[in-house]
Amino acid sequence: MTIAAQSVTTATSRKGQITGWHVLIGVVTFFALIIAVDVVFMVLAYRTFSGQVASNPYEAGLAFNKTLAQREREAALGWAAAVETVDGDAVIVRVRDRAGRPLDRLSLTGSLARPATEVGKQTLNFKPLGDGRYRATARLGGAWDLRATARDAQNAFELEARLVSQ
């Protein structure tokens, strides 16, 4: 018995199939899109940021040892400060000594600045409330960086805090 083997060929359509060219075009398009978006973000970032963090970076670098010495003096004082906001229109700073007693006879000065820009910087005028508390009116809303200095006759204490208000 002889069986004749026949090869059956069917005409298959290539329409709708993903080929190597389709994959190549998809991968190249994907990475081109990613690179284009990255370039747009880099251009926007470059246009909005001058690259300068301090207005006098060289002098600030030279003064860093003085800053370290000031931080050591502050640590030796043992003063501590707590910051709170009141209804989005005031900042209250409470200053205490090492034993937790309130410090009332201080002169407090400070400023509020946005974390990402110098626009809208506010100078704060703190008034004593008693019990080691000092209050300054401010326009709060969003994120602010508080920098304040508390001084008495011979000591200085610097305070930095991030305030976030609704």
Mean pLDDT across 41-67: 82
Q: Which whole number is the average pLDDT over 29-55?
A: 88
Which segment of 41-55, 58-72, 86-100 scores lowest on mean pLDDT? 41-55
Question: Does pLDDT of 4 surpass 60?
Answer: no
Q: What is the pLDDT of residue 6?
A: 59
DSSP string, 65-132: HHHHHHHHHHHHHT-EEEEEEETTTEEEEEEE-TTS-B--S-EEEEEEE-SS-STT-EEEE-EEEETT
Residue-level pLDDT at 9: 54
Domain ranges of the chain: 20-50, 78-165
pLDDT band at 62 (very low <50, low <70, confident <90, very high): confident
Q: Of 21-25, 42-46, 57-61, 88-92, which range is least confident?
A: 57-61
Closest CA to 96 of 161, 150, 138: 150
pLDDT class of 124 with cuts at 50, 70, 90: very high
pLDDT above 90 covers a percentage of the chain that reads 52
Q: Where does the pLDDT of residue 129 fall: very low under 50, low under 70, confident under 90, or very high at 90 and above?
A: very high
**Integer Cα distance of 57 and 62 in angstroms:** 9
Q: 145-162: per-residue pLDDT in tens?
A: 999 999 998 889 999 999
pLDDT exceeds cutoff 70 at 38: yes
Query: Which residue's structure tokens are 């207005």?
Result: 55
User: Which fold does the domain 78-165 belong to in CATH?
Assistant: Immunoglobulin-like (2.60.40)
Q: Does the pLDDT value for residue 104 go beyond 70?
A: yes
**pLDDT range class, residue 140, cuts 50, 70, 90:** confident
pLDDT of 71 higher than 60 = yes
C-beta separation of 113 from 66 below 8 A: no
